[in-house]
């Protein structure tokens, strides 16, 4: 079974770093708490679809891209 929490975690972290954003900056942009970003990036949180859409907008990507396994990573 595919672990979408881990896929989302890796993709959010990679997209955030590609934009040179801190967790704090992303949290402010997406209007959520920084500790929630940390939880998502560690696959401890299960964000709603609405939150995934807000994260995607803030990271200048799509919700689909955040839920798609990166090449070379399970």
Q: What is the domain partition of the chain in residue ranges?
A: 4-66
- Between 71 and 40, the higher pLDDT residue: 40
| pTM exceeds 0.85 for this model | yes
Count of CB atoms situated within 10 Å of the CB of 72: 5
Task: Read off the tokens for 19.
Answer: 């934009």
Confidence (pLDDT) at 1: 86
| Cβ proximity of 27 and 65 under 8 Å | no
Confidence (pLDDT) at 74: 53
Confidence (pLDDT) at 72: 55
Q: What's the pLDDT tens digit per position in 8-41?
A: 999 999 999 999 999 999 999 999 999 999 999 9
% the chain with pLDDT above 70: 96
Residue listed under structure tokens 């940390």: 38
The superfamily (CATH) of domain 4-66 is: lambda repressor-like DNA-binding domains (1.10.260.40)
Q: Identify the CA nearest to 51 among candidates 67, 65, 72, 32.
A: 32
Q: What is the spatial distance between Cα 42 and Cα 12, in angstroms, rounded to a whole number?
A: 10
Confidence (pLDDT) at 59: 98
Q: What is the spatial distance between Cα 53 and Cα 30, in angstroms, rounded to a whole number?
A: 10
């Amino acid at each position: 079974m595919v672990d979408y929490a881990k896929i989302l975690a890796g993709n959010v972290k990679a997209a955030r770093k590609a934009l040179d954003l801190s967790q704090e900056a992303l949290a402010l942009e997406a209007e959520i708490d920084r500790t929630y970003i940390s939880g998502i990036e560690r696959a401890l949180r299960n964000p709603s679809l609405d939150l995934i859409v807000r994260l995607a907008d803030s990271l200048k990507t799509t919700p689909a891209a955040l839920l798609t396994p990166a090449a070379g990573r399970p």
